[in-house]
Amino acid sequence: MEPKTPLFKYFKKDFFSGLIVFLVALPLCLGIAQASHAPLFAGIVSGIIGGIVVGVLSGSQVSVSGPAAGLTAIVLAAITKLNAFDIFLCSVIIAGAIQLALGFLKAGSIANFIPSSVIEGMLAGIGLTIIIKQIPDAVGFVKHNAADLDEMVDADDGFLMKTISNALNHTEIAAIIIAAIGLVVLILWQTKALKKLQMIPAGLIVVLLGIFINLLLTSNQSPMALDATHLVSLPVAHNFSEFMGHFMLPNLEGFKNPLVWETGVVIAIVASIETLLCIEATDKLDPHKRYTSTNRELKAQGIGNILSGFMGGLPMTSVIVRSSANINAGARSKLSAILHGVLLLVCAASIPFLLNMIPKASLAAILIFTGYKLCKPSMFVHMWKGGWTQFIPFVLTAGAVVSLDLLKGVGLGLLISIFYILRQNMRIPYYFQRSSFTQGDLIKLTLAQEVSFLNKASIKETLDHLPNNSNVIIDAGQTQYIDFDVLDLIKEFSKTKAPERNIKMSLIDFKNVYDVPDTVSETEIVSGFVHMNEVPKRSSGSYRKLIKQLRGAIAQ
């Protein structure tokens, strides 16, 4: 049973925490919608549902849900291909239904089957994608002008220079200044020198500075002032019915489109993995160490995404940035997450004109910094230190997510990881020991706990390179399973090839795994030798090294 905390027992602490999370979430909701090329109001809708609905249904006391940076690449690609946000909403509904089904099927441990190197690579690739996609907004380049550039010049020798020239002509100095100041604030806010100020969300400071700078330029009638195309554009409602009209309904014709279903499956998988990883991390951060049912969380996220799809919102996950901010602010129950959703609803309904003063460059700075945290250089160093089996899948996944798309990137990473797993399983499935005695060499192969068909090739090559006139023990005392083909190979070698090469083969404890009688005990073999000088060589190194040792023994 999950430990429960009374909803209103710590109202003061939870209200303050909810206020802090609201201030963190507001620019992120707008920024993620902006990065996804979705209507900005869709980000607010997702935040509202994630806070109120998922907050109520979730078993977590401190987790906060909303639109996630990790889904940006998928949403952006889907909206671009479908060319209609109302059709894309069908994918969100499908994703929610799949998550709900996964919850009932008790698939909460699904994230455990994805290698950490692939997950880290996916996050790094998403981070790089966010940074790349936000550079135009950070420099004030209006995106619709990019489409015009293709029509302005033909593909001739001067195409590249003309394109760069036109792009530079559409940048805004004020946007660059706002984005640069925002990044500086975000970086400095992480330092110990400003530790006392860190209770105030850095994103809020960046947004307020962006508004102030642009208002200052506008009041002075500076030509550098940003116009409406560079500012947030939320719909403004004059009454309740008009506000409710801003919630977009899905175009149900989208359910006939195979791409919609494919996108829904991808969102469900990625959102579920990201949620489960976040829940695991949140439970570790929770000072009260409360346990969250992952299956209940999948059900809550599924219902949240179904509602978000029907109301015109983005897909959501449990988000570590908001959850950690919630914990750091002293949240004690899920009331803080619910209150943050209520505040988002009230804000969107009552003061959209204030939100429309936020420069897109400020949101771009927040997202660029968020993307950087997903792909920090320290992460690359950490994966490098983990060895090639960790670094190669990580780098290839990250690169493929950026250059192809998230699904293909994760698929490639999984294939590389499977290759390394198979390669690892094909390595020597035993410990090798060789001792020299007056009557010849004694070689002992102690088989591993499991010997699969993947080990057949290595065992076959090892047996072929055993020195003639040697004494060999194959010990299965620690083995629980031997593949039938491998067992046949060993039995055939001991009966036919070994006598031809004057190799005395002894099988020990094979009756533990198959009904193969021991030929002789190890004690009897060793006692038959007069010890001259022991040179035990135990090898758990590379397969090539062991074969080299055996070839050397043959040469002697």
Condensed to tens digits (0 to 9), the pLDDT of residues 139-160 reads 888 654 434 433 333 334 454 4
Closest listed residue to residue 121, CA positions, set 413, 417, 419, 415: 413
Q: Could you please report the per-residue DSSP string of 471-494?
A: EEEEE-TT-SEE-HHHHHHHHHII
- 3-state SS, 114-134, equals CCHHHHHHHHHHHHHHHHHHH
Per-residue pLDDT, 71: 87
What is the distance in angstroms between the CA of the first residue and the CA of the last residue of the chain? 67
Give the Å distances, CA to CA, from 419 to 16, 246, 415, 422, 493.
Answer: 50, 49, 6, 5, 30
Q: How far apart are CA 545 and CA 556, in angstroms?
A: 17
Residue 248, H or E segment? none
The torsion defined by the Cα of 233, 238, 240 and 244, in degrees rounded to 10, comes to -30
User: Residue 98 — φ and ψ, nearest 5°?
Assistant: -65, -45
Amino acid, single-letter form, for residue 181:
I
Parallel, antiparallel or unpaired: strands 440-447 and 471-475: parallel
Per-residue pLDDT, 303: 96
Cβ-contact 337, 61 below 8 angstroms: no
The torsion defined by the Cα of 312, 314, 316 and 322, in degrees rounded to 10, comes to -110
Query: How buried is residue 555: exposed, middle or buried, by Cβ count under 10 Å (0-12/13-18/19+)?
Result: exposed
Per-residue pLDDT, 160: 42
Per-residue pLDDT, 466: 83
Residues of the chain where predicted confidence (pLDDT) is lower than 70: 1-7, 111-112, 142-169, 198, 329, 406-407, 424-441, 511-556
Amino acid, single-letter form, for residue 95:
A
Q: How far apart are CA 543 and CA 426, in angstroms?
A: 9
Q: Could you please report the per-residue DSSP string of 349-364?
A: HH-HHHHTTSBHHHHH
Q: How far apart are CA 46 and CA 44, in angstroms?
A: 5
Q: Could you please report the per-residue DSSP string of 178-231?
A: HHHHHHHHHHHTTSGGGGGGTTS-HHHHHHHHHHHHHHHHHHTT-TTS--GGGB
Per-residue pLDDT, 521: 47
Residue burial 7-29, b: 16+ Cβ < 10 Å; e: rest: eeebeebbebbbbbbbbbbbbbb
Q: How far apart are CA 509 and CA 524, in angstroms?
A: 14
The token pair that represents 335 in the structure block: 């009331």
Count the helices and strands in the chain (H runs, E runs): 24, 8
Closest listed residue to residue 200, CA positions, set 318, 209, 32: 209
Query: How buried is residue 497: exposed, middle or buried, by Cβ count under 10 Å (0-12/13-18/19+)?
Result: middle
Per-residue pLDDT, 30: 86
- 3-state SS, 378-418, equals HHHHHHHHCCHHHHHHHHHHHHHHHHCCHHHHHHHHHHHHH
Cβ-contact 235, 43 below 8 angstroms: no
Per-residue pLDDT, 431: 65
Which domains does the chain carry?
11-140+172-417 (no CATH), 430-555 (3.30.750.24)
Amino acid, single-letter form, for residue 17:
S
pTM: 0.66
The token pair that represents 301 in the structure block: 């996220």
